[in-house]
C-alpha cells in the first residue's frame, strides 16, 4: 500500500502541524518494525509512538509520505512489539513491501545509525548535538559538522559481443556471480573508478563507459552508481584477491545471479534484454 505514495524529504517538520497519524520507521538494533494487516504488510501508522509500548531512544523527522509525517526512531528493547507487529531485517522489507518502502526503511536505518555512531566530535571529542536546520550533527566546541555517511561505489556491467563479465566474490555466501563493483576513491571521477576497479579485479581494460542508473544500498551506507561498458583489451587475471573467479558468460549459460532487488541484477537483466532483442536497422 505504501508503494505508490509520493515521498517528500524534509529535515525539519513544516510549521503547519499535521494532526493525523504519522508513519513510524522504528529501528531496533539493525532491524525495522513492520505491521501485518489483513490488507498486507506496512509500517505502523500511529498518532503517538507511545502506542508501540517500546522506549524511544532517538527520533528524526524524515518528511512526508502522501501528506502524512514520517519519523525514524530508535527503540530500545522492551516487552516486545504489539501483537500484529514484528521486527524484520531490511532485505526482508523489500520482499514484503517493495522498492519504495525499502528505500524509506533504508533511509530511516541509516539516519538512526549515523546518529548513534556520531555522538562525539571526531576532531575534539566533545559531545555533538543535532543541527537545527540541516541533517547534520554539530560540535558545540569546535563547530565541526558531521553529516550522514554515504559511500559512493561504482558497479559496472562489461560486455564483449554476446558475453558478459561476472565475478564470484570471495565474500559471497552462495556460489553466485555478479557484476564488478568497488568504492570510489577521494579525488577520482566515477569513470576513473570504473576503469581502475575493472583493471584491479579482472585485468581487463574497458571503453564506452555509460551511466545506467543508481541505487541506495544501505548495507551499511553505500550509494551504488551503475554503468555499462564494453571490453577493450586484456586477458582475465585475478590480481587483488577480492574474487575467486572472474569469467565471461553468455545469456544461455548463466550462473546463479544476485537478488532481483539489486542494481547488479538490473544491469544483468538489461544485458539479457539486449540479447533477446538485438537491434534491427530500419528498413531491414
Interacting residue ranges for Zn ion, rule: CB under 5 A: 121, 123-124, 126, 139, 141-142, 144
DSSP-assigned letter for residue 256: B
> Closest distance between Zn ion and the C-beta of residue 124, in Å?
3
The Cα 20–Cα 18 span in angstroms is: 6
> Closest distance between Zn ion and the C-beta of residue 125, in Å?
7
Residue/partner pairs of 98-103 with CB below 8 Å, 24 or more apart: 98/2, 98/3, 99/3, 99/261, 100/2, 100/3, 100/4, 100/5, 100/7, 101/2, 101/3, 101/42, 101/43, 102/261, 103/216
> Closest distance between Zn ion and the C-beta of residue 74, in Å?
23
By residue count, the chain amounts to 284
Bridge partner residues of 180 (DSSP): 156
Indicate the residue among 143 and 175 with the shorter CB distance to Zn ion: 143
> Closest distance between Zn ion and the C-beta of residue 140, in Å?
8
Indicate the residue among 128 and 202 with the shorter CB distance to Zn ion: 128
- Cβ-in-10-Å burial (0-12, 13-18, 19+) of 153 comes to middle
273 CB-near residues (< 8 Å, 6+ apart): none
Indicate the residue among 145 and 150 with the shorter CB distance to Zn ion: 145
> Closest distance between Zn ion and the C-beta of residue 132, in Å?
17
Indicate the residue among 142 and 244 with the shorter CB distance to Zn ion: 142
Indicate the residue among 88 and 138 with the shorter CB distance to Zn ion: 138
The Cα 43–Cα 55 span in angstroms is: 18
> Closest distance between Zn ion and the C-beta of residue 142, in Å?
3
Indicate the residue among 131 and 247 with the shorter CB distance to Zn ion: 131
Amino acid at each position: 500500500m505504501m508503494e505508490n505514495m509520493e515521498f517528500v524529504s524534509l529535515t525539519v517538520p513544516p510549521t503547519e502541524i499535521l494532526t493525523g497519524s504519522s508513519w513510524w520507521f522504528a529501528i531496533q538494533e539493525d532491524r525495522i518494525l513492520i505491521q501485518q494487516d489483513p490488507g498486507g504488510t506496512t509500517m505502523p501508522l500511529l498518532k503517538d509512538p507511545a502506542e508501540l509500548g517500546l522506549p524511544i531512544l532517538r527520533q528524526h523527522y524524515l518528511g512526508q509520505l502522501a501528506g502524512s509525517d514520517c519519523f525514524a526512531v530508535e527503540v530500545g528493547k522492551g516487552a516486545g512489539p504489539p501483537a500484529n507487529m514484528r521486527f524484520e531485517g531490511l532485505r526482508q522489507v523489500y520482499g514484503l513491501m517493495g522498492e519504495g518502502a525499502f528505500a524509506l526503511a533504508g533511509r530511516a536505518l541509516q539516519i538512526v545509525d549515523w546518529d548513534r555512531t556520531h555522538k562525539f566530535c571526531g576532531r575534539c571529542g566533545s559531545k555533538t548535538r543535532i543541527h537545527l536546520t540541516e541533517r547534520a550533527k554539530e560540535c558545540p566546541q569546535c563547530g565541526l559538522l558531521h553529516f550522514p555517511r554515504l559511500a559512493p561505489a561504482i558497479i559496472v556491467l562489461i560486455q564483449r559481443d554476446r558475453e558478459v563479465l561476472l565475478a564470484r566474490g570471495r565474500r559471497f555466501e552462495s556460489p553466485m556471480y555478479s557484476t564488478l563493483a568497488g568504492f570510489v576513491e577521494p579525488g577520482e571521477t566515477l569513470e576513473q573508478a570504473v576503469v581502475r576497479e575493472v583493471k584491479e579485479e579482472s585485468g581487463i581494460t574497458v571503453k564506452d563507459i555509460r551511466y545506467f542508473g543508481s541505487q541506495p544500498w544501505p548495507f551499511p551506507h553505500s550509494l551504488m552508481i551503475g554503468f555499462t561498458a564494453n571490453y577493450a583489451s586484456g586477458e582475465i587475471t585475478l590480481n587483488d584477491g577480492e574474487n575467486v573467479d572472474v569469467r565471461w558468460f553468455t545469456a544461455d549459460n548463466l550462473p546463479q545471479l544476485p537478488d532481483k532487488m539489486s542494481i547488479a541484477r538490473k544491469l544483468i537483466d538489461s544485458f539479457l534484454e539486449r540479447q533477446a532483442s538485438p537491434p534491427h536497422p530500419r528498413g531491414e
